[in-house]
Structure 1
Amino acid sequence: MRTDRNVSRYEAGALSPRRRAADLNRMRSEHFDVLIIGGGVTGAGAALDAASRGLRVALVEARDYAAGTSSRSSKLIHGGLRYLEQFEFGLVHEALTERGLMCDRLAPHLVKPLPFLAPLYSHFQRAYFGMGLAAYDTLQTAFNRGGALPRHRHLSKKGTRRQFPGLAPSKLKGAIRYYDAQTDDARYVVNLARTAASYGAAVATSTRVVGLNRDARQVTGARVADLETGQEFDISATTVIAATGVWSNDLTGMLGSKVGLRVRASKGVHLVVRRSAIAGDTAIILRTPSSVLFILPWGGHWIIGTTDTDWALDRAHPAASAIDVAYLLELANKALERPLSLDDVEGVYAGLRPLLSGEDEDTSQLSREHAVVEPMLGLLLVAGGKFTTYRIMAKDAVDRAARRLHGVPKSRTADVPLLGADGYQAAWRDRSEIAARAGLSTGVIEHLLGRYGTMTFDLLRMMRDQPDLKLPVEGAPEYLAAEIVHAVRAEGALHADDVLTRRTRISVETPHRGENSVEHVVSLMAGELGWTEDDKQREISHYLARVAAERDSQRQPDDATADAARLGAEDVRGKSMSGKSGRALSN
């Protein structure tokens, strides 16, 4: 159960509409030690790192938390097994250490161990992969502060088929079973932002940076537009940290000079497939001609991905084409006994990885390492890396910012659990008792604990006060109405897309892509945000247009036509700005 100290932290980290207004007022009037641009995993992680050191922190995000790369990953927290082939032992060990911290200490409610099978089709593969996984096991235990997952184990063909009947038996020699971990990436980022807010950070979404403020050769803050009102204002800061991912190169135009690194965008497409289409319970990792393919259990679904291709078109809404979908189905069907078809696909999503680049590298060979550069005094740019190592990236960026301040302590985030982590194991142990007291099924409590940890008690109080919030969301019975209201009251959701795409995964987990849920969701949000009937219709029409544009893009034969189709739907944010333009810096 939560202590009084935890209750105060939960309340302090509630990203309500009132909190957003108060934080915007702070941004207008205060001077901050650090201003962070970008509400993805690295930006939110930097906000928590800086705020937990006692610094005055502001974070702005042009769209929503995790609206870009950080909500469109493979949902894995992993060491990067394939990086061993590139002899990136330090990178793999660093990532495995972070994986252990997240599973064991920082976010056990959000990051869960996931068993994998690596199917084998030759005796050479057994020896080769076996050596790699032995090194993987060694690296996860060497000097590791977090908990270690089970070591790898060899399986016969019969044992492999027993664990994953859906694998085609032809040419199969067996498999090696090992462990990595899985998370809902967008939920993780929202929890990071809430935890940063609980330490005093001022955070706000729908706040677009339209310019960097300078005094001679020093950056002194940023000009920001509130996309909900159209108002612009300045934020004053000693150091600006841009954690903007694939938007990093846009700073070149704002500075009028070249930034000290190049970031290339690599498109990764994933399919969401109904669970009954594949017979199996573990994750699968398969070698492809250029990379690897994952087949990952995801609640009542499977996630299949990913592609790895250069992308130079619209970065806010990368589009999956018909050729991307066909490519993933073809790769998966080579390993599966029952071939998948388009009828099995419930959802598709595409994201962009920010890769540090040179001039001619293929995206699958570009570095997953990160860099922190200071192209101008007072401005730091952090880019590269991957979701698993966000905490190291954030620490390195804040360490650089701390050089301009005095008496700043070292990073604490290796020992700062995210909201919902404290008391989670005890709550999970007592989940049947909690369910009985709440008048809900144990399965519902397990669902809530896996998404909110001990913040589940906040939702249970809401449902006690408003029993109708126990009802499922229309068209998406896996989710409760309480989760929609909680997304607005505590998680900073401002638009229907925030809820349907990131606070929940209704947009990709249902064949209707959220079309059958949007009216119910909007009605629940309207009471919290004071929407008029016109506001409600605007939200519904924008969301339906977005779904239609995505469906259209996924029928197109190539990237160019898919991008054009996706751009047919306008972004719901910024309509109050009367046509004012400006590129969104987000992550």
Structure 2
Amino acid sequence: MPSPTSRLTPQARDAALHAMRASSASDPLDVLVIGGGVTGAGTALDAVTRGLTTAVVEAQDWASGTSSRSSKLVHGGLRYLQMLDFHLVHEALTERDQLITKLAPHLVRPVSFLYPLEHRVWERGYVGAGVALYDTLATLVPGKRSLPFHRHLTRAGMERVFPDLRHDAAIGAVRYWDASVDDARLVSTLIRTAASHGAHAASRTQVVDLTKNHSGRVDGARLRDLETGDEFRVHARNVINATGVWTEETEALAGGTGGLRVLASKGVHIVVPRDRIRGEVGLILQTEKSVLFVIPWSRYWVIGTTDTPWEHQLQHPVATSADIDYVLEHANEVLANPLTRKDIIGTWAGLRPLLQPGTKAGTSSAKVSREHTTASPVPGLTVTAGGKLTTYRVMAKDAVDFALGDEAKDRPSITADTPLLGAVNLAVQRNWSRSYAQRYGWSPAMVDHLLHRYGSLLTDIVDLCEEDESMARPLEHAPAYLRAEVAYAASHEGALHLEDVLLHRTRLNYEIADRGLAALEEISGLMADILGWDDATRGREVAAYEARAAAEAAAEREPDDGAAEAVRLAADDVAPLAPLGSGATGGLKPGSPEDSPGAAGPVGT
């Protein structure tokens, strides 16, 4: 077994693939996790910290699916109180507070919201009672309370903290606290933490089939390295399917008719500059179809989301013109200075994996429970689905417990007491950051940005700047990020392609109006130096990202999902998925009717 390392380099990826390839029927891995979103990453960390030999694979980049396209909130689910789901809310509040105080205090930060009130008496009492119950459930969480109690605000008090709330939109508000997180960074940090404890982690590695032994038990998988095209088998005592909206596609590889059924629901967000809306806090608004959040984030506002069924291919959901109009319309109902399309600097669309136990076609996705379920449709295969980002750790614990069965009693989960990389010695680096700022001329905003992204791993960024002073400079056309951050994404964080940096290691794809196109030359040059790209490879990477950005922009002008999907799929993927294997799929061949872009999701995502 190679020495554990938290650096996700191409060499570390090769070593991980070698370890998987070296597994055998007589010496299998203990656990193979399929899926590199937050649930899969959390599951890999849970398994490896129990002392289990663990591998985790992802067909695309880490967090490339749902886990980089969420509302970026860590919350207890205030609206679930309306469903009287007290257990789910308390569970989520417990996880929220652990992340804030112990597990990832650098990544997860408090954010407050206003719940505007339209009626003076009954609504203030009704909403106030609900938020008070929310706070009470949070108080039941062990340890010191992590967030302030809610407050009732008059109209004047409300307007002081959110001047751009329309005067006639509310007579007052209730202010309460939850937390926000960069979802993709949470996932990459989970993967790196798992790797630091010995997990074998490989992105761009697709499961094309599940294998069984003579008794019919799933005993591993057939994997394809999408970077090289090589295909090989990995043996594992337990295989855990944590593929979110691709759950059913993964289950099908094992045969049988049982398993979990998952409904894909599309959620869209828009991004507008921070100075476009005057406000210090966020908003939570009830709409006829969903809950709309206006979330303060760094240099901009995130506004969303929608909740509509998605019936197309699963890899590239996109925002349509109708989606954008919906979000604008409902946000403008309460904003004193209405937003227009010209204010939007970015969008994203993601798919929520909602369990549908017993639901029938046509059921509204907004009514499907978000509580997770773990099951075993075939011996040797554990499936976990549902849930939400906040409760990823509980989902992971339940999945590993389920897979181990009675053995779990002797190998209990310890992730509730396992801080993620960057959390340990965070206070020390906060103190040292002052000297770093003086040395490199970083503004307070830049220092805060770096601490939020890296925590105590800020020392790694400083080391890069010590080796090369040019690394301490901001990117010329994306000055919110340092040159060192791009180099670090390739040297430590597993970025293999240009789009990995633009979409997941940074947020340039949607936080500046040109989707980061002006910065491509500088970013691709930094990555080329680290990854050893020649001019031809660098050119292909730039062209692929430019095509993707153009396709996404064009899709936003289309009226519906079908038209938008057709436009988006005109851009080729940088590492195309392989057709699924010979199990339940019957051995699809490239070019067959079933080998269309919508036929099979990227199993391993």
Same fold (TM over 0.5): yes
> Please, which of 5, 12, 16 is the counterpart of residue 9 of structure 2?
16
Tell which deviates more after alignment, 466-475 or 542-551.
466-475
Letter of the structure 1 residue corresponding to residue 258 of structure 2:
V
- Cross-structure match for 2:126: 128
Task: Give the root-mean-square deviation of aligned CA atoms.
Answer: 1.8
- Cross-structure match for 1:200: 198
Contact 2:272 2:300 in 1 (8 A): yes
Q: Shift of the alpha carbon at 1:407?
A: 7.1
Alpha carbons of 1:344 and 1:488: their partners in 2 closer, same or farther (altered >3 Å)?
same
- Cross-structure match for 2:303: 304
Counterpart-to-counterpart distance in 1, 2:125 and 2:430: 39
The reply to whether residue 561 of structure 1 matches residue 569 of structure 2 is no
3-state SS of the aligned residue for 1:271?
A: strand
- Cross-structure match for 2:275: 276
- Cross-structure match for 1:6: none
- Cross-structure match for 1:3: none
3-state SS of the aligned residue for 2:207?
A: strand
Tell which deviates more after alignment, 501-510 or 519-528.
519-528
Counterpart-to-counterpart distance in 2, 1:166 and 1:429: 36
Contact 1:153 1:177 in 2 (8 A): yes
The reply to whether residue 63 of structure 1 matches residue 60 of structure 2 is yes
Counterpart-to-counterpart distance in 2, 1:478 and 1:150: 30
3-state SS of the aligned residue for 1:499?
A: helix
Counterpart-to-counterpart distance in 1, 2:533 and 2:144: 45
Counterpart-to-counterpart distance in 2, 1:147 and 1:170: 35
The reply to whether residue 239 of structure 1 matches residue 257 of structure 2 is no
Q: Shift of the alpha carbon at 1:198?
A: 0.5
> Please, which of 171, 174, 177 is the counterpart of residue 176 of structure 1?
174
> Please, which of 68, 71, 74 is the counterpart of residue 74 of structure 1?
71
What aligned pairs does 1:284-363 form with structure 2 within 5 A after superposition? 284-357=283-356, 358-360=359-361, 361-363=363-365
> Please, which of 151, 162, 165 is the counterpart of residue 163 of structure 2?
165
User: C-alpha deviations, 1:207-266, integer Å up to 9, x for none?
Assistant: 000000111310000000000000001110000001000000103431232232210000
> Please, which of 155, 179, 187 is the counterpart of residue 153 of structure 2?
155
- Cross-structure match for 1:45: 42
> Please, which of 412, 416, 419 is the counterpart of residue 418 of structure 2?
416
Letter of the structure 1 residue corresponding to residue 476 of structure 2:
E
Contact 1:105 1:146 in 2 (8 A): no
Q: Shift of the alpha carbon at 1:485?
A: 0.7
Contact 1:40 1:189 in 2 (8 A): yes
Q: Shift of the alpha carbon at 1:106?
A: 0.2
> Please, which of 389, 397, 400 is the counterpart of residue 398 of structure 1?
400
Contact 1:214 1:220 in 2 (8 A): yes
The reply to whether residue 26 of structure 1 matches residue 23 of structure 2 is no
User: TM-score, with normalisation over the residues of structure 1?
Assistant: 0.96
Tell which deviates more after alignment, 156-165 or 464-473.
464-473
The reply to whether residue 186 of structure 1 matches residue 179 of structure 2 is no
- Cross-structure match for 1:380: 382
3-state SS of the aligned residue for 1:255?
A: coil
Contact 1:46 1:394 in 2 (8 A): yes
User: C-alpha deviations, 1:414-469, integer Å up to 9, x for none?
Assistant: 00000000111232244323322455333322211110001011110101101111
Q: Shift of the alpha carbon at 1:583?
A: 4.3
- Cross-structure match for 2:584: none
User: C-alpha deviations, 1:51-92, integer Å up to 9, x for none?
Assistant: 111100000000011000000000000000000000010000
Tell which deviates more after alignment, 576-585 or 22-31.
576-585
Tell which deviates more after alignment, 516-525 or 104-113.
516-525
User: C-alpha deviations, 1:322-369, integer Å up to 9, x for none?
Assistant: 000010000000000000000100001000000001214311111100
User: TM-score, with normalisation over the residues of structure 2?
Assistant: 0.93
Q: Shift of the alpha carbon at 1:586?
A: 3.8
Q: Shift of the alpha carbon at 1:147?
A: 3.9
Letter of the structure 2 residue corresponding to residue 205 of structure 1:
S
Counterpart-to-counterpart distance in 2, 1:317 and 1:334: 30
Contact 1:346 1:510 in 2 (8 A): yes
Alpha carbons of 1:515 and 1:302: their partners in 2 closer, same or farther (altered >3 Å)?
same
Counterpart-to-counterpart distance in 1, 2:318 and 2:183: 19
3-state SS of the aligned residue for 1:348?
A: strand
Counterpart-to-counterpart distance in 2, 1:559 and 1:162: 40
Counterpart-to-counterpart distance in 2, 1:224 and 1:329: 43
Counterpart-to-counterpart distance in 2, 1:119 and 1:365: 24
Letter of the structure 2 residue corresponding to residue 221 of structure 1:
G
Letter of the structure 1 residue corresponding to residue 7 of structure 2:
A
Letter of the structure 2 residue corresponding to residue 584 of structure 1:
P
Counterpart-to-counterpart distance in 2, 1:205 and 1:34: 17
Contact 1:323 1:558 in 2 (8 A): yes
Counterpart-to-counterpart distance in 2, 1:221 and 1:439: 52
Counterpart-to-counterpart distance in 2, 1:167 and 1:449: 31
Q: Shift of the alpha carbon at 1:141?
A: 1.1
Contact 2:440 2:472 in 1 (8 A): no
Tell which deviates more after alignment, 430-439 or 469-478.
430-439
3-state SS of the aligned residue for 1:354?
A: strand
- Cross-structure match for 1:265: 264
> Please, which of 459, 463, 473 is the counterpart of residue 471 of structure 1?
473
- Cross-structure match for 2:84: 87
3-state SS of the aligned residue for 1:295?
A: strand
The reply to whether residue 454 of structure 1 matches residue 456 of structure 2 is yes
- Cross-structure match for 1:140: 138
3-state SS of the aligned residue for 1:382?
A: strand
Letter of the structure 1 residue corresponding to residue 558 of structure 2:
Q
Structure 1 unpaired stretches of 5+: 1-8
Letter of the structure 2 residue corresponding to residue 359 of structure 1:
K
- Cross-structure match for 1:209: 207
Counterpart-to-counterpart distance in 2, 1:297 and 1:462: 31
Counterpart-to-counterpart distance in 2, 1:24 and 1:145: 41
Counterpart-to-counterpart distance in 1, 2:248 and 2:438: 53
Letter of the structure 2 residue corresponding to residue 54 of structure 1:
G
Counterpart-to-counterpart distance in 2, 1:171 and 1:284: 12
Counterpart-to-counterpart distance in 1, 2:432 and 2:538: 40
Tell which deviates more after alignment, 217-226 or 251-260.
251-260
Alpha carbons of 1:348 and 1:586: their partners in 2 closer, same or farther (altered >3 Å)?
farther
Alpha carbons of 1:220 and 1:131: their partners in 2 closer, same or farther (altered >3 Å)?
same
Q: Shift of the alpha carbon at 1:585?
A: 1.4
3-state SS of the aligned residue for 1:548?
A: helix
Alpha carbons of 1:575 and 1:292: their partners in 2 closer, same or farther (altered >3 Å)?
closer
Q: Shift of the alpha carbon at 1:472?
A: 1.7
Contact 2:164 2:337 in 1 (8 A): yes
Letter of the structure 1 residue corresponding to residue 220 of structure 2:
G
The reply to whether residue 585 of structure 1 matches residue 582 of structure 2 is no
Tell which deviates more after alignment, 286-295 or 506-515.
286-295
Counterpart-to-counterpart distance in 2, 1:408 and 1:317: 42
3-state SS of the aligned residue for 2:602?
A: coil
